[in-house]
Amino acid sequence: MAEIESGEPCGSAALIRGVVLLQEKWVMLIIHQLLNGSAGFNELSRKAEGVNVTTLSQRLALLEQAGLVTKTIHSTMPPRTGYELTEAGQALRPVLKAIEAWSTHHLPEIEPPHICPLAEKE
């Protein structure tokens, strides 16, 4: 088995937890969208073309449970739900920037719109 910097086979438990969470389909795209500021459920649903509302709801609940997203229910008629990144979620900004820089340098032949439906909407 390959060893990661922690010296433990396959890395530390914290690394594995992070990878398991962030590898969930749509999670990184949702986080990326919320880095631009808070957004309502319907807004996220429109911008994340291709993700069905059940999956979006499940991923947002997962991110909320992990402490990366806060959910606010506004008492309007009809009720409106808003989502925003917590401090822990905002701390992923340099991680996404690093992934973007790595991709730009090492994967120039891949066009972002083909892998990122949000890129066409922003």
What would the pLDDT profile of 3-50 be if each residue is shown by its tens digit? Answer: 455 555 566 888 888 888 888 899 999 999 999 999 999 999 998 878
- Express each pLDDT in 49-72 by its tens digit: 788 999 999 999 999 999 999 999
**Whole-prediction pTM value?**
0.75
Is it the case that residue 105 has pLDDT exceeding 70?
A: yes
pLDDT score of 1 = 39
The Cα-based distances of 99 to 13, 15, 64, 66 in angstroms read: 21, 16, 23, 21
pLDDT score of 34 = 95
- List domains and CATH numbers for the chain: 25-120 (1.10.10.10)
Burial of 1 (C-beta count, 10 Å sphere; 0-12/13-18/19+): exposed
- Ranking 36-45, 53-62, 94-103, 104-113 by mean pLDDT, the lowest is 104-113
Helix (H, G, I), strand (E, B) or coil at 69: strand
**Alpha-carbon span 88 to 92, nearest angstrom:** 7
